[in-house]
Amino acid sequence: MNRAGLGPLLLGILAGVSAGLLYGWVVQPIRVVDTSPASLRVDFQDEYVALIAVAHAATGDLPRALARLALLPAVGSEDHIAALAQARLADGRPSAEVQALAALAAELGSAHPSSTIGPSPTTRPATPQASPTLTTTRPRPTPIPTATPGAPFRLSERLLVCDDPAPLPRLQVVVLDSAGEGVPNVLVRVIWDTGQDQFFTGLKPELGIGFGDFSIEPDTEYTVQLSESDAIATGIRSETCTESSGANHIGSWRLTFVQPEAP
Amino acid sequence: MSLRLSRFLIGLAIGLALGLGYAWLLQPVTYVDTAPDSLRQDYRTDYILMVAEAYQAEGDLSQALFRLASLGPEPPLVIVTGAIDFAQANEFTTDDTRALTELAADLRAIPATPQTND
């Protein structure tokens, strides 16, 4: 083919590609339908997880919550849910939603030794394709110890921890009921000269469902208070630990709050 | 037909084939970053069911409306009614259907937006 013949051919190819793109992008653009939750944008997936948590808090149906979380492998892990609870707490989202997330993370931690939720072989969300299991009655909520509002927790122990594996010094808060069991979902307030923050216990279930922590800065004095309780710890400052080798590092503090036995 | 026109048409066909081959074989569409309004009907119904379950516990209709809004511009009652139809057609449990119908009933009780006369 001579050069004069190549021109129309290339022109045709160019016109064909252009026509294809015009058709695909303008005339008949893709309309996304029939997607699964896993394809949702990450913020929508987080909303989905929050809704799963709230629905779980309402029904107490853990198998169904697990089946729903299995649809969201990227964000359905216990760690992610715990982090989401913290983030939403910081964002000022409704406390019911934050507590539902915290409770779900804690329940996952006690139900699953590993932090990743896998698909359940027997239960799935309430879809007809899903599972006959869901046509049965709902299981009752798994009992999780919770703090009685206004419960008279008291500071039982205040301990400088020099062998904390955490990379930064922190406040470790442990909340126990009168039987010595960890209590999740307790809101802990941390106050210092220039600010305050808060967190829930139970978001790191691998460290105990009554455990919560908060990184501390040197040369700052902190006050720690359990919400809905008078229990308070004041004057907490970072302190130096000296290792056997003579090296120094900043230690962590562990505060243990205990609910006294009823008289 | 002139030789130039036939070459143009051959090129056009090759171009279309290249475009479609690229779009369908080399770089097929993958669905990411979608919104809840694109969920398949069964997932969509389960989403609405979660909203209804949460509403049963919270009793906060404005929160339920907020959650339903992510499913698209349709009126919330239409969204929930569609879910009820799907649930009934697919034999959802009585509890699930009740949660949906209670939410629909409360949505139905919302007074209609007053019409304005310009």
Residue A144 or residue A165, greater confidence: A165
- Residue A123, H or E segment: none
Tell me the chain B residues in contact with residue A44 when contact means C-beta distances shorter than 8 Å: 34-36, 70
The predicted pLDDT at position B112 comes to 66
Pair type for strands A195-200 and A154-161: unpaired
Q: What is the pLDDT of residue A126?
A: 59
Cα–Cα nearest to A200, from A147, A261, A254, A153: A147
Express each pLDDT in B19-78 by its tens digit.
878 877 777 767 778 889 999 999 999 999 999 999 998 899 999 999 999 898 999 999
CA of A143 vs chain B CAs: smallest distance (Å) = 18
Instruction: Please check whether residue B85 touches A, CB under 8 A.
Output: no
Three-state secondary-structure class, residue A152: coil
Distance from CA of A23 to the nearest CA of B (A): 11
- With beta carbons less than 8 A apart as the criterion, state whether B49 and A126 touch: yes
Helix (H) or strand (E) holding B66: helix B61-69
Looking at the DSSP bridge assignments, the partners of residue A233 are A224
- Phi-psi category of residue B76: left, alpha or beta, with phi > 0 → left and psi -120 to 50 → alpha: alpha
Q: How confident is the model at residue A262 (pLDDT cuts 50, 70, 90)?
A: low
Test A21 with B9 for CB contact under 8 angstroms.
Answer: no
Residues from chain B that touch A16, judged by Cβ atoms under 8 A, are 11-19
- Say how far apart CA A232 and CA A172 lie, in whole Å: 14
Give the span between the Cα atoms of B77 and B65, in whole angstroms. Answer: 10
The pLDDT value given to residue B7 = 86
Most confident of the following: B22-26, B99-103, B111-115: B99-103
Q: Which residues of A touch B18 (CB under 8 A)?
A: 13, 16-17
Give the length of chain A: 263
Q: Do A24 and B23 touch (CB under 8 A)?
A: yes
Distance CA A259, CA B85 (A): 50
Q: How confident is the model at residue A142 (pLDDT cuts 50, 70, 90)?
A: very low
**Most B CBs within 10 Å, among A10, A27, A54, A61, to test the B interface:** A54
The two most distant CA atoms of chain A are separated, in Å, by: 104
Say if strands A211-215 and A170-176 run parallel, antiparallel, or are unpaired. antiparallel
User: Which pLDDT does position A89 carry in this prediction?
Assistant: 86
- Between strands A170-176 and A252-258, the pairing is parallel
Residue of B nearest to A15 (CA): B12
Token digits for A245? 């080798």
The verdict on a CB contact (< 8 Å) between B11 and A136 is no
| Whole-number pLDDT of residue A135 | 35
Smallest CA–CA distance from A34 into chain B, residue: B40
Q: Is B24 on the interface with A (CB under 8 A)?
A: no
* pLDDT at residue A256, as a whole number: 92
pTM of the model: 0.61
Rounded Cα distance between A173 and A188, Å, is 8
Nearest to B53 among A19, A36, A58 (CB): A58
Which residues from B are below 8 Å from A66, CB to CB? none
CA pair distance B97, B99, nearest whole angstrom: 5
Chain B residue numbers with beta carbons less than 8 Å from the beta carbon of A13 are 11-12, 14-15, 18
Query: Per residue in A46-87, pLDDT tens?
Result: 999 999 999 999 999 999 999 999 999 889 888 899 889 988
Tell me if chain A has a CB within 8 Å of the CB of B40. Answer: yes
Q: Do A55 and B93 touch (CB under 8 A)?
A: no
Q: What is the pLDDT of residue A140?
A: 40
Pairing of strands A211-215, A195-200: unpaired
pLDDT of residue A244: 81
Quick check: A125 and B83 in contact, CB under 8 A? no
Give me the helices (H) in chain A, please. 3-22, 42-59, 62-69, 78-90, 95-111
Do the Cβ atoms of A135 and B93 come within 8 Å?
Answer: yes
Which ipTM value was assigned to this complex? Answer: 0.78
**CB distance A51–B91 less than 8 Å?**
no
The two structure tokens encoding residue A254: 């562990």
Strand ranges, E, within chain A: 154-161, 170-176, 187-192, 195-200, 211-215, 221-226, 232-237, 240-242, 248-250, 252-258
In percent, the amount of chain A with pLDDT more than 90 equals 17
CB contact (8 A) between residue A20 and residue B23? yes
Kindly write down the DSSP assignment for every residue of B12-62, as one continuous string.
HHHHHHHHHHIIIIIS-----SB-GGGB-HHHHHHHHHHHHHHHHHH--HH
Contact in structure between A155 and A117 (CB atoms under 8 Å): no
Residue B26's pLDDT is: 79
pLDDT band at A120 (very low <50, low <70, confident <90, very high): very low
Beta carbons within 8 Å of A190's beta carbon, 6+ residues apart? A171, A196, A197, A198, A199, A214, A222, A223, A224
Q: A26: distance to nearest CA of chain B, Å?
A: 15
pLDDT at B1: 60
Chain A residues in contact with B88 by the CB 8 A cut-off are none
Query: What's the mean pLDDT in A153-160?
Result: 88
